[in-house]
Amino acid sequence: MPQQIAHYLKDYRAPEYLVPHIRLNFDVYEDHTAVTAELSIQPQPDAGGTLVLQGSAELVSLELNGQRLPETAYTLANNTLSIPNIPARPFTLSVATRLYPHQNKSLMGLYASSGNLYTQCEPEGFRKITYHPDRPDVMGIYTTRISADRARFPVLLSNGNRTGHGTLPDNRHWAEWHDPFAKPSYLFALVAGDLVCTRDSFTTRSGRQVALEFFTRAEDAGKACFGIESLKHAMRWDETRFGLEYDLDIFMVVAVGDFNMGAMENKGLNIFNTACVLADSRTATDADFERVEGVIAHEYFHNWTGNRVTCRDWFQLSLKEGLTVFRDQEFSADRASREVRRIENVSFLRAHQFPEDAGPTAHPVRPASYVEMNNFYTLTVYEKGAEVVRMYHTFLGEEGFQKGMKLYFRRHDGQAVTCDDFRAAMADANGFDFEQFALWYSQAGTPVLEVSGSLQTGNRFVLNIRQSIPPTPDMAAKQPMMIPLKIALFSADEDTFGQPIPFRLPESAHEQTEAVLTLRQAEESVALQFEGGYQQVVPSLLRGFSAPVNLHYAYSEHELSVLLACDSDPFARWEAAQTLYRRAIAANEAALLSGSPLPEHRALLQAIDYVLRADIGAAFQAALLAIPNEAELWAGRQNIDPLIVHRAREALLDLIATHFADQFAALNAEARRMEEEQSDLAEPYEYHPQQAGWRALRNACRAFILRARPGHIDQVAANYSQMAHNMTHEWGILSAINHNERPERNRLLEQFAAKFHRDDLVMCKYFSLIAASHRADTPAQVAAALEHPAFSLENPNKARALLGSFSRNVPHFHAADGSGYAFLAGQIGRIDRFNPQIAARLTQAFNICAQLEPQRRSLMRAELQKLAANPALSKDSGEIIGKILQASAVLGIARGQM
């Protein structure tokens, strides 16, 4: 494993040289691209006389103020170009490089995909194009000229507004683009290729006409319409909710099938993974449509929260990403079911970010150090970062939060700033003390709230709250956090069952039915006063998931039933159901380990009976029927046997399916009737949130029905074409039968692949189904999929679909003989040779290593050690593997097992 060189937040120094203007020239040829970068450089007062630029491209020549520099005038080593004896006054440096985009499989810098050229520069891809102070606090105004063969590359795009174009000899042509807004190098973008354009326009609130242009391959043009409509909704929403208007004459989106991330917010020229921008009624599920709408909004919102105000350094990444995730979550909540969107966000956070916070790669929202910046595009930075922003909103309310946002933009438009600057704007705009709140940026780990409650004298309920944060690899002892805890009280008395209880906080005469407590101490007690002689009072805690914490309260089953049936907060109702599910699975685990009969779970079954009969929205009903997955169940635990957890969960699903088989069938029929009544199936399928809710409920019911009656796969196979009249239903049916051992399952999947073999995004669904199946032949099918004509390990979407899904397949990835670990490690080793970023992401499937029981931990460590022994291993993968091995070794030593 190569040497790991860390970068530290504490070592930040302001740049010695700024580049206020940069002129780029790209001459695109069949086998290479010639690039000339003309940098107008402005030394700062403390400049030391040596200009240091980052770069890894083939250097052709350097010119300083028009004079060519001999090789003796500079040094080039370790991807760093150093030029001594630099003048103290402004000067011009011209850098000529040569690129080979068709050989670039990392998908960073300038690369080729299906014959077209694209860029990805965040975080450090610009240095693959030219030599530059490639850091976000060096901002400049870019002018870009592109020339290429007119037949091969009819479309030439870059940032900003197009200022000129024309023809050249030898059937070539050129285009020039100018971006009037200063930006860091990570926001530079270029696209050259044979693409078609779908056009529309948007009129801003000030009356400006903005051209909207979506570029795709010709065969994908019909899939761009939903994305354009989503963009217009996002532009209008940002004007209405935040008062933010778009600032260029044109907004362009380009879809590319080979892309490491979801999308990139390059100023005026967003580049999107096809999975996050293309959708049509034949090939996209409701979830796909929702994802497209959300990601398009996210990237558009970056125009202000990321582009106009950007990050001082990469440690501040959550400044733009956490804030923009919060904004896209709010957009999606306003567009569809707010309560279900919130539940989905929390469920995703718990299943993926909470384990990250409890694992070997745990880090604060603002990391203190990193080896490879690509590794810190994490769920902690994005999703937990969004929860940090949401806590500002919870403390301040919408009005106060908007005051803070306006001050933030007023102070920092056009600047590269820090998370502390954002916190200061929120505090100063509202006169609110957020000093302790800064710990959310510097302390890793998920806080734990241990809460107990007691009813005193019939009109006083006391909450005792103790907070702690588990140790993480970077820090053992933690300080108490500033936490917003949203609460309410409900009656469990027979005559007032489920009614909210108005209460008063200490030192307040104001009665309220909901309040936000501000926790600041390790231990606190809060007495809530109310009128009336209640005998049973149930606290509703962490309403709306007011903070990203684990809260423990010893609710009785009766108290949980009160919250599930009567709480006015949808998250609290869902959380009551989740608590019942988690307890039932834990009880199943205990029974399996002891060899005892499985419990009957009567209280849980009564709760589910209520859910099935409740008069609630279909999407919310489907959410209440979703039980926690394995990753949520073992987060923070040690000595895990994954198969025991899996079997305990499966046993609960079997019980629910068989106990309510008739009810699920009846509910499915009713959901079908409602879907057809609202959508009129004589018309083509279209995504609509309300109809999507009915389809989600139908798919939930189908999964339970086919679990209870696996023999019904014959009927499914016979009626498949009539049942699967859109991709949401098709995906739901195939998912429901995916674990079935009967041959009809394989036949239906092969029919699916044959029907969509030319559609890359749908084939990703196929590969995901193959890898997620619990069938005995899954390992063989996954190995065969690697050789499928539609599969390519070099395509990140397909690699994630197959290998990412396999890594979440508990019975096969965690096979007792370690074969699942060996398979994934082998594929990671292959990918690491050409795309370290994707390899490192897949490597995080091994983060659970230290939590496993000794035998599996040893098997997993052995595979990781093989990877680490490779001297050519990338620093991306090496950083992750090193942390996992260190954490699992420390744990093994502590247990005397090494």
Residue 897 reports pLDDT greater than 70: no
| Helices 557-566 and 570-594, axial angle in degrees (round to 10) | 150
94: left (phi over 0), alpha (psi -120 to 50) or beta: beta
For residue 891, what pLDDT is reported? 54
Q: What number of helices (H) and strands (E) belong to the chain?
A: 30, 32
Reading the block at residue 733, the tokens are 């049916």
Cα separation, 7 vs 13, whole angstroms: 12
The band of 683, judged by pLDDT with boundaries at 50, 70 and 90, is low
One-letter amino acid identity for 770?
I
For residue 898, what pLDDT is reported? 35
Q: Which ranges of 349-384 would DSSP assign to H, the alpha helix? A: 354-357, 379
Least confident of 151-165, 407-421, 704-718, 773-787: 704-718
Cα separation, 845 vs 135, whole angstroms: 30
Residue 890 reports pLDDT greater than 70: no
Going by C-alpha positions, the residue among 157, 156, 159 that lies closest to residue 188 is 159
Q: Which ranges of 738-832 would DSSP assign to H, the alpha helix? A: 743-755, 760-772, 778-785, 796-799, 805-807, 810-813, 819-832
Q: What residue has token string 């998250």?
A: 571
Percent of the chain with pLDDT over 70: 98
Instruction: Kindly state the average pLDDT of the residues 225-248.
Output: 99
Interval 709-753: pLDDT, tens: 999 999 998 988 888 889 999 999 999 999 999 999 999 999 999
Which domains are seen in the chain, by residue range? 7-194 (2.60.40.1730)
Strand bridging mode 75-77 / 80-83? antiparallel
Cα separation, 793 vs 809, whole angstroms: 19
Instruction: Kindly state the average pLDDT of the residues 171-195.
Output: 99
One-letter amino acid identity for 610?
Y
Interval 822-857: pLDDT, tens: 999 999 999 999 999 999 999 999 999 999 999 999
Going by C-alpha positions, the residue among 59, 57, 187 that lies closest to residue 128 is 57
Cα 195 to Cα 113, 253, 682: the distances in Å are: 12, 12, 34
Coil, helix or strand at residue 455: strand
DSSP states along 369-421: EES-GGGG--HIIIIIHHHHHHHHHHHHHHHHHHHHHHHHHHHHTT-EE-HHH
Interval 9-23: pLDDT, tens: 999 999 999 999 999
Residue 699 reports pLDDT greater than 60: yes
Report CA Rg, the chain: 28
Cα separation, 738 vs 771, whole angstroms: 10
How many CB atoms sit inside 10 A of residue 476's CB?
8
Percent of the chain with pLDDT over 90: 95
Cα separation, 851 vs 891, whole angstroms: 9
For residue 896, what pLDDT is reported? 42
Q: Which residues contact 96 (CB under 8 A, 6 or more apart)?
A: 34, 35, 36, 59, 60, 61, 62
Residue 681 reports pLDDT greater than 70: no
Cα separation, 314 vs 9, whole angstroms: 9
- Residue of 265, 299, 372, 730 marked active site: 299
For residue 2, what pLDDT is reported? 66
Q: What residue has token string 């778009």?
A: 246
Strand bridging mode 116-120 / 190-193? antiparallel
Angle (CA) 70 76 80, round 5°:
135
Interval 478-498: pLDDT, tens: 999 999 999 999 999 999 999
- Residue 523 annotated in active site: no
For residue 508, what pLDDT is reported? 87
Reading the block at residue 10, the tokens are 């504490």
Cα separation, 880 vs 884, whole angstroms: 6
Cα separation, 868 vs 879, whole angstroms: 10
Burial 647-675 (b: 16+ CB within 10 A, else e): bbbbbbbebbbebbeeebbebbeebbebb
Going by C-alpha positions, the residue among 114, 141, 137, 117 that lies closest to residue 128 is 117
Interval 623-658: pLDDT, tens: 999 999 999 999 889 999 999 999 999 999 999 999
The band of 334, judged by pLDDT with boundaries at 50, 70 and 90, is very high
Instruction: Kindly state the average pLDDT of the residues 519-523.
Output: 98
For residue 592, what pLDDT is reported? 98
CB 362, CB 473: distance < 8 Å: yes
Task: State the average pLDDT for the chain.
Answer: 96
The band of 682, judged by pLDDT with boundaries at 50, 70 and 90, is very low
Total-model pTM? 0.97
Reading the block at residue 188, the tokens are 């530079």
Residue 566 reports pLDDT greater than 60: yes
